[in-house]
Amino acid sequence: GAGVSQSPSNKVTEKGKDVELRCDPISGHTALYWYRQSLGQGLEFLIYFQGNSAPDKSGLPSDRFSAERTGGSVSTLTIQRTQQEDSAVYLCASSYVGGASYNEQFFGPGTRLTVL
Amino acid sequence: AQSVTQLDSQVPVFEEAPVELRCNYSSSVSVYLFWYVQYPNQGLQLLLKYLSGSTLVESINGFEAEFNKSQTSFHLRKPSVHISDTAEYFCAVSEPGNKLVFGAGTILRVKS
């Protein structure tokens, strides 16, 4: 079946512009995660959605970053007033949360964001 | 809070030689441990995981890792590497809610 998809695959923007990154999780997966992969910072957790619960936003680096998940499926990560340090690959992952204490996360291919 | 340290940023090795990629973690609670692999221009893939039970876990392509609680380590090993194993490898630990905390990554370069 289809895996996690992300769009666009590449995004180049100018400093100060807003960008939206999209994630389509695997159908039926109730949990959705955003991570960021950048030089010097490695892979960092950003935000986590699980069902109808309030999202865990503890990894968002500033209030310029926000995310929403509509209808429990598609998620959009928005970065306002982009800065050069926002340049990174943004990864989305999803998992099915069932009775087990661990549920494997499946990663999308990522969106490479370049802020000029 | 949990943290993960990968001791080597790059590991060059000749084909068919053994390799060990080192990973140490810190946590005040029981953890789940993972190795992810990222092949060039591809996404992250789960290579193997330790959840509980046997401390030695194996992947389908010959890698294995051993959970050592006393040394807080989860080193990845392969007795004989192939060119196709060239990739970046990430060690990770999960926090409550299953969000992952990653190490900085180790680039494995297999040379012929």
Query: Cβ–Cβ of A107/B43 closer than 8 Å?
Result: yes
B56 membership: H or E segment, kind and range: strand B56-58
Distance (Å, rounded) from C-alpha B31 to C-alpha B19?
A: 25
Distance (Å, rounded) from C-alpha A95 to C-alpha B49?
A: 15
Q: According to the model, what pLDDT value does residue A2 have?
A: 82
Please state which of the ranges B17-21, B49-53, B104-108 shows the lowest mean pLDDT.
B49-53
Instruction: Give the residue-averaged pLDDT of A54-78.
Output: 93
Q: According to the model, what pLDDT value does residue A11 have?
A: 97
The answer on pLDDT for A100 being more than 90 is no
Q: According to the model, what pLDDT value does residue B74 have?
A: 96
Query: Mean pLDDT score of chain B, rounded to an integer?
Result: 91
The pLDDT tens digits of the residues spanning B34-86 come to 999 999 888 899 999 988 888 888 888 899 999 998 999 999 999 999 999 99
Distance (Å, rounded) from C-alpha B12 to C-alpha B10?
A: 7
Q: According to the model, what pLDDT value does residue A1 have?
A: 57
The answer to whether A74 and B70 have CB atoms below 8 angstroms apart is no
Query: Mean pLDDT score of chain A, rounded to an integer?
Result: 92
The answer to whether B58 and A66 have CB atoms below 8 angstroms apart is no
Q: Give the DSSP letter of residue B62.
A: S
Instruction: Give the residue-averaged pLDDT of A72-79.
Output: 94
Q: Least CB-CB distance to B97: which of A35, A56, A108?
A: A56
The answer to whether B29 and B82 have CB atoms below 8 angstroms apart is no
Q: According to the model, what pLDDT value does residue B30 have?
A: 74
Instruction: Give the residue-averaged pLDDT of A62-88.
Output: 95
Closest residue, chain A, to B90 (C-alpha): A43
Query: Cβ–Cβ of B43/A103 closer than 8 Å?
Result: no
Bridge-based pairing of strands A75-79 and B87-94 is unpaired
Q: Least CB-CB distance to B43: which of A101, A102, A109?
A: A109
The answer on pLDDT for A42 being more than 60 is yes
Between residues A75 and A52, the one the model is more confident about: A75
Q: According to the model, what pLDDT value does residue B96 have?
A: 63
The answer on pLDDT for A108 being more than 70 is yes
Q: According to the model, what pLDDT value does residue B97 have?
A: 66
The answer on pLDDT for A20 being more than 80 is yes
Closest residue, chain B, to A91 (C-alpha): B43
Q: A with B: how many residue pairs have Cβ under 8 Å apart?
A: 48
Structural tokens at position A9 = 């695959």
The β-bridge partners of B44 are: B38
Q: Is the dihedral of CA B4, B8, B12, B15 positive or negative?
A: negative
Model confidence at B19, pLDDT cuts 50, 70, 90, reads: very high
